[in-house]
Structure 1
Amino acid sequence: MNNNIKNTEKYDVVIVGAGPAGSTAAFYTENLKVLIVDKFDFPRHKACGGGLMSSKDWSLELENYKRIKDELKSFSCKSIKMYWNKMFVAKCDFKHLFDQVSRYEFDELLLKEALKKENVKFLKFDLQMIEKKKLNGKDVFKLSDGQAEIETDYIIGADGMHSKVSKFLGNKNHKRHQFGYCMEYEINCEKKDLNVHVVAGYKWEIGYGWIFPTLNGYQVGIGIIRKPRKSLNYYLDDFLAWSSEKELIPKEYVIEKRFGGALPLKVVKNYCTDNILLCGDAMGLVKLLTGEGIYYAMKSGKAAGQTLTESQKDIKKRYKKKIKPLFWDTFLTPYVPPKIFTITFWSVFFHIGKIWNYFPIGNILVKFFIKMAIHRKSSRKDSYYHDEKIKIGK
């Protein structure tokens, strides 16, 4: 997917990154000449991710998702079993939990939807340098990949955790306790167990392992905050073997592929100016408890696009106002240092949950954790989850 355009052409807005954040930002940017650039052509594989939490309500908030959802192949997950370091804690049943999708397909559909707009184009472009200059008293930015140059008045940075746009704004690399690593296998096999399995504190590391049912089998992964004691490959293979031994997945399966990546755990200090807006992983907008980022990438992309569409005045102030509710929804991410989530914290939390689960009041703690971990707009009368009752079992 690539448009033949003159790379000396000037644009009102250049969006760096064509994932969910960038495509959504382009979709919501009106009356401005927009170019999306990405170092990859599309479709492309994306490391980790693919769970669309509470996605039955996304159509109420995200018009681009509403337009692609009928084309999107997904597997709906409705129940979850939670463990602490191999110790079973509780099972929760929902009306709907999340839809598991292929990022290969999902990201391409979002980009195609954005490119249906006459004001949006796409270019494969591996950004290497950003330069600011004055032109008629106004800031103009020159983007270069080492060969070609593009000029623009505004930049939306949606280029992931290692964002070059973020570095241009003066943000430093994340410290080791401010990001996590994840790795997963995509396996093909018969699906006998349709539960989602989440194993927190696996091998006494700060993070969790997961088993997500997919259309063709399962995604089996592990995510760890801070530097693990052993390699991530070791933990993933050990978790896969344990999952098979406990019959959470079948004994016979075929590993289709293995991939991994990093995710930020703290919002960067400088995420907007009156000319540059960051969104998604580039901004560090990821839910601290679960590592969920797709919803927040799209919501922040929408906020960025709408901010530039509404007016070119007070951009920084207006974007901060739009984005602030997402901070709270991600569990106070900018205000709570990730280092407080120690192995001791989680061990005590889950052991209390295990003990309380044997008593009538035990459901309170488990439900409290679930409410923190998932976002629901259930107070809205048009919400799919308006009459949902979460059932806690042993």
Structure 2
Amino acid sequence: MTYDVVVVGAGPAGSTIAKIVAERGFKVLVLEKYTLDREKPCGGAISNRVVEHFRIPEKAFARKCTGIFFCSPKNRTAVIGKRGKIRFVMRSVFDKVLCQMAMDKGAEFFEKSLVNEPLIKNGKVIGVKAKIEGKTKTIKGKLVIAADGTPSTMAKKLELYSGRPNTIGFCFQYQMELSNELIEQRIGSNMEIYFGSQWIPFGYTWIFPKNNVVTVGCGTWIDVIQQRKISLKEQLDHFIKKHPVASTKLEGAKVLHSQAHLIGFPGVLKDNVAKGCLIVGDASGTVSIVNSEGIWYSMKSGEAAGISAAETLEKGDVSANTIRTNYYKNLDQKVKDDFRFAAKIRNFINSDSKQQRTVVSIIKDQWWANLIESIIDGTCPLKKGFKQVRSRPDKMLKAYALYR
């Protein structure tokens, strides 16, 4: 089997690539190791920019978020935002909708197709070897793009995976059954974020309401888990039972199933191009270290890869240098800036005292509430947000002096 483009992974990045390439008239195949409607481990909150930019139909969403709830390490609480700029999704539904959007344009998808390794000839990736319906098959492509998550099999095989513990996050969560009636009484349609190292160090815990389901999870860095020798399952169980605010909201909720997953952040790869193969999406670490938002960045990464693939095929130049140059040329400048400024923004919430100050600042000062809301819901790019903070030293001084 031969295609113009072979994509490994049918998540948001892979589906976005496939849709764009198919729209441009090229033959594209997406290989997914699970089913297209698998329930991928994910908190399931997306910013409205995903909906608007990629024109996602309403059937993809489980609930519209109407507010952002914060609980500080000392249990001060605040709710901000009534603009409805965030949506909640179950990934089994959302990802399948994205796949269908690509199929409608002519892309092909193979489910339960495990890619084992790249096919290399004369120093260039010309396809993949995959186990399909129990048989190992060779699938060739003029271009191969890997969007297979963290840790990426393709990145490992091409010796691009760094695997550094400080560039990888680990999350554990439950999908819990709770009636919509109780969700409305206790949580509403709020995204809930809980801070405090007593619950999870250097990370946060979340409660995201869906349709008769709440997603409850926690996450932090692999190096933190290794150094502190903590179990995320034990941390989350403790949070559900003992947190003075959250435990009452989750009383009576029944665990449907648990999920665990790794998240690749910038630096998880040594490079994202090798032997003419491009690595994108979560597999390449396109996840924000500010709030772990990944779907928007994965889809923008996939968009750049899809446009670049079509351009290189149209020009007949599929060299590694051309692929790399086109990808970064087509990657949205605001996305590049977000990753450049993410560490600066993250620095405001990287300890209990700073998290406490952030929540109290939201309570005391509407300026901070508006800024933080706009950063979380994606309406304020991180570069712009950082500049706003730098332009108001009076706000910073007051927050550090008074908000504790």
> TM-score, normalization: structure 2?
0.79
- CA-atom RMSD in angstroms: 2.8
Contact 2:177 2:212 in 1 (8 A): yes
How far does residue 244 in structure 1 lie from its aligned partner after superposition? 7.5
Contact 1:329 1:375 in 2 (8 A): no
Q: Secondary structure at the match of 1:95?
A: coil
CA distance in 2, matches of 1:322, 1:18: 21
Report the equivalent of 1:71. 59
Segments of 5+ residues of structure 1 without an aligned counterpart are: 1-8, 379-394
Q: Which of the pair is proportionally richer in helix?
A: 2
Q: Which moved more, 1:147-156 or 1:237-246?
A: 237-246
Could you report, residue by residue, the CA deviation over 1:141-163 in whole angstroms, capped at 9, with x for unpaired residues? 24113622111121111000111
Q: Among residues 342, 348, 357, which one is paired with 2:353 in the alignment?
A: 348
Q: Secondary structure at the match of 1:15?
A: strand
The amino acid of 2:37's aligned partner reads P
How far does residue 42 in structure 1 lie from its aligned partner after superposition? 2.3
Report the equivalent of 1:148. 137
| Matched ranges for 1:157-196 at <5 A | 157-189=146-178, 190-191=182-183, 192=185, 193-194=187-188, 195-196=190-191
The amino acid of 1:351's aligned partner reads Q
Classify 1:253/1:119 alpha carbon distance in 2 versus 1 (closer, same or farther; 3 Å).
closer
Runs of 4+, deviation exceeding 6 Å: none
Report the equivalent of 1:114. 102
CA distance in 2, matches of 1:126, 1:287: 28
| Matched ranges for 1:9-24 at <5 A | 9-24=1-16
The amino acid of 2:366's aligned partner reads N
CA distance in 1, matches of 2:362, 2:11: 40
Q: Among residues 223, 227, 230, which one is paired with 2:224 in the alignment?
A: 227
Report the equivalent of 2:193. 198
How far does residue 79 in structure 1 lie from its aligned partner after superposition? 1.2
Contact 1:187 1:253 in 2 (8 A): yes
Q: Secondary structure at the match of 2:18?
A: helix
Report the equivalent of 1:387. none
The amino acid of 2:100's aligned partner reads K
CA distance in 1, matches of 2:70, 2:96: 32
How far does residue 75 in structure 1 lie from its aligned partner after superposition? 0.7
1:327 aligns to 2:342 (yes or no): no
The amino acid of 1:177's aligned partner reads N
How far does residue 217 in structure 1 lie from its aligned partner after superposition? 3.3
Q: Secondary structure at the match of 1:128?
A: strand
| Matched ranges for 1:294-305 at <5 A | 294-305=295-306
Identity %: 26
Classify 1:311/1:208 alpha carbon distance in 2 versus 1 (closer, same or farther; 3 Å).
same
1:292 aligns to 2:293 (yes or no): yes
The amino acid of 1:23's aligned partner reads S
The amino acid of 2:13's aligned partner reads A
Q: Secondary structure at the match of 1:235?
A: helix
Q: Which moved more, 1:235-244 or 1:19-28?
A: 235-244
How far does residue 140 in structure 1 lie from its aligned partner after superposition? 5.1
The amino acid of 1:211's aligned partner reads I
CA distance in 1, matches of 2:87, 2:296: 12
Could you report, residue by residue, the CA deviation over 1:141-187 in whole angstroms, capped at 9, with x for unpaired residues? 24113622111121111000111222244323421111111111111
| Matched ranges for 1:41-56 at <5 A | 41-53=35-47, 55=48
Classify 1:356/1:118 alpha carbon distance in 2 versus 1 (closer, same or farther; 3 Å).
closer
How far does residue 377 in structure 1 lie from its aligned partner after superposition? 6.7
CA distance in 2, matches of 1:61, 1:354: 31
> TM-score, normalization: structure 1?
0.81
Classify 1:105/1:356 alpha carbon distance in 2 versus 1 (closer, same or farther; 3 Å).
closer
CA distance in 1, matches of 2:13, 2:246: 38
The amino acid of 1:157's aligned partner reads A
The amino acid of 2:341's aligned partner reads L
CA distance in 2, matches of 1:248, 1:101: 24
Report the equivalent of 1:261. 261
Q: Secondary structure at the match of 2:86?
A: strand
Contact 1:11 1:151 in 2 (8 A): yes
Classify 1:176/1:58 alpha carbon distance in 2 versus 1 (closer, same or farther; 3 Å).
closer
Classify 1:243/1:330 alpha carbon distance in 2 versus 1 (closer, same or farther; 3 Å).
farther
Contact 1:115 1:122 in 2 (8 A): no
Q: Secondary structure at the match of 2:238?
A: helix
CA distance in 1, matches of 2:361, 2:380: 28
Classify 1:371/1:346 alpha carbon distance in 2 versus 1 (closer, same or farther; 3 Å).
farther
